């Protein structure tokens, strides 16, 4: 590794709990969980929590991992979404299984956010 460069790797337990900021630098939530496809090893999405007080009343939303960017100062992630988009987004209900295993459910999340499905390789699009 070159001098002055840090590793781009991070542990999953370090990501969980990290703050999430909007494009204006306002803290809007935190990463609650990472959902990893056990067949491909790819991160499918992050479950983000918004709102609530001391963990009570928080809403949880799956956001495709490709939508989040690293934001080193302050330490966390940045996502270009609006409050209105979040209000209408697919949501993980209280007590619902975090493992959204049905492909149709995964497609709903990716279709809502209008991003390419993580399970389709770029080479398959040609």
User: What CATH number has the domain bearing residue 54?
Assistant: 2.30.30.240
Looking at the predicted structure, is the pLDDT value of residue 100 above 90? no
φ and ψ of 51, to 5 deg: 75, -165
Residue-number span of the structural domain to which 63 is assigned: 16-125
pLDDT of 57 reads 64
Is residue 5 included in any domain, yes or no?
no
pTM: 0.80
Q: Check residue 53 and report its DSSP letter.
A: B
Average pLDDT over every residue of 101-107:
76
Residue 5 structure tokens: 């460069």
Is 37 a domain residue? yes
């Amino acid at each position: 590794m070159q001098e002055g460069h840090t590793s781009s790797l991070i542990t999953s337990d370090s990501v969980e709990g990290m703050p999430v900021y909007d494009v204006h630098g306002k803290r809007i939530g935190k990463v609650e969980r990472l959902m990893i496809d056990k067949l491909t090893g790819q991160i499918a999405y992050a479950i983000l929590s918004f709102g609530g007080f001391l963990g009570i009343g928080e809403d949880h939303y799956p956001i495709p991992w490709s939508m989040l960017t690293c934001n080193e100062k302050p330490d966390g992630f940045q996502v270009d979404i609006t409050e209105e988009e979040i209000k209408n987004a697919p949501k993980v209900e209280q007590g619902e299984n975090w493992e959204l295993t049905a492909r149709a459910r995964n497609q709903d999340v990716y279709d809502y956010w209008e991003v390419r499905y993580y399970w389709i390789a770029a080479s398959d699009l040609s």
